[in-house]
């Protein structure tokens, strides 16, 4: 199984057209390198630390226009895509910080809502998810999803492993100075739970926040298969064998 991690800046605040155009280009590049899955950063389609009211206005359900656009890209390129976006709260509350897996035929496979919100910035913008989403089956593999701070929680990674996940796909927006997450925590938890982890981080800045990059592909014994630097890159690596 080959994965592509799209380490990229967030789009200009709320510019979903810009984000989808960039995603289509990344998917084309990833497909040309025979990747099975492309993973975006957390909240890649709208921006992350943008005005909470603007973020709320951009929220969509899991089958909304953004999902349909991503499904078209997946079908056109024949690649699975895991992407981050704000999901509409069914009771009208703050949106969820969500990630969705769309298969290479455009099929919606799973949605995970971030459970472990990180600090005041998350709390101002999002409602927490209730539980870790169940793994999904694809291509003879069982894959889970987590978002950013979720992947640093031993109980969350263990729960996916308990449900049979072989690997975890992680959109993230880990900011400086928290390099300990990709460098230490993610490999350690992968080894402890015997799961691979594909950790796709943002880079660049939103306002005064700078994202750390260092997107990382880790095997199920904690071995680092590939790691990016700080700048924008499409990191492609063979992962599960």
Q: What is the reported pLDDT for 241? A: 64
d(CA 47, CA 203): 12
- The reply to whether 94 belongs to the active site is no
Task: Identify the domain containing residue 210 by its residue range.
Answer: 2-238
pLDDT value of residue 240: 76
Q: Considering the candidates 60, 87, 94, 148, report the single residue annotated as catalytic.
A: 148
Decide if 148 is catalytic. yes
Count of domains observed in the chain = 1
Query: Residue 190 belongs to a domain with what CATH number?
Result: 3.60.110.10
pLDDT in tens, the chain (241 residues): 999 999 999 999 889 999 999 999 999 999 999 999 999 999 999 999 999 999 999 999 999 999 999 999 999 999 999 999 999 999 989 999 999 999 999 999 999 999 999 999 999 999 999 999 999 999 999 999 999 999 999 999 999 999 999 999 999 999 999 999 999 999 999 999 999 999 999 999 998 999 999 999 999 999 999 999 999 999 999 987 6
Q: Examine the residue annotation and report whether 25 is marked as an active-site residue of this protein.
A: no
- Quote the CA–CA distance of 226 and 187 in Å, as a whole number: 12
What Å distances lie between residue 115 and 147, 148, 160, 170, 200, CA to CA? 8, 10, 14, 13, 18
Which position among 87, 114, 203, 206 bears the catalytic label? 114
């Amino acid at each position: 199984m080959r994965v592509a991690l799209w380490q990229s800046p967030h789009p200009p605040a709320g510019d979903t057209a810009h984000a989808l155009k960039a995603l289509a280009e990344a998917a084309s590049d990833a497909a040309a390198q025979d990747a099975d899955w492309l993973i975006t950063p957390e909240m890649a389609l709208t921006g992350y630390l943008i005005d909470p009211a603007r973020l709320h206005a951009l929220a969509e359900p899991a089958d909304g226009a953004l999902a349909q656009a991503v499904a078209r890209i997946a079908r056109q390129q024949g690649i699975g895509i895991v992407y981050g976006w704000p999901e509409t709260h069914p009771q009208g509350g703050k949106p969820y910080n969500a990630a969705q897996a769309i298969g290479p035929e455009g099929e919606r496979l799973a949605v995970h809502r971030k459970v472990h919100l990180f600090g005041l910035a998350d709390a101002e913008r999002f409602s927490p998810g209730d539980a870790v989403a169940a793994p999904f089956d694809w291509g003879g593999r069982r894959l889970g999803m987590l978002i950013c701070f979720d992947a640093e929680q031993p109980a969350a990674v263990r729960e996916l492993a308990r449900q049979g996940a072989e690997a975890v796909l992680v959109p993230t927006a880990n900011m400086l100075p928290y390099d300990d997450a990709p460098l230490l925590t993610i490999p350690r938890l992968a080894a402890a739970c015997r799961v691979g982890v594909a950790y796709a981080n943002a880079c660049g800045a939103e306002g005064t926040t700078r994202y750390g990059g260092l997107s990382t592909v880790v095997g199920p014994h904690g071995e680092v298969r590939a790691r990016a630097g700080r700048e924008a890159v499409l990191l492609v690596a063979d992962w599960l064998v």
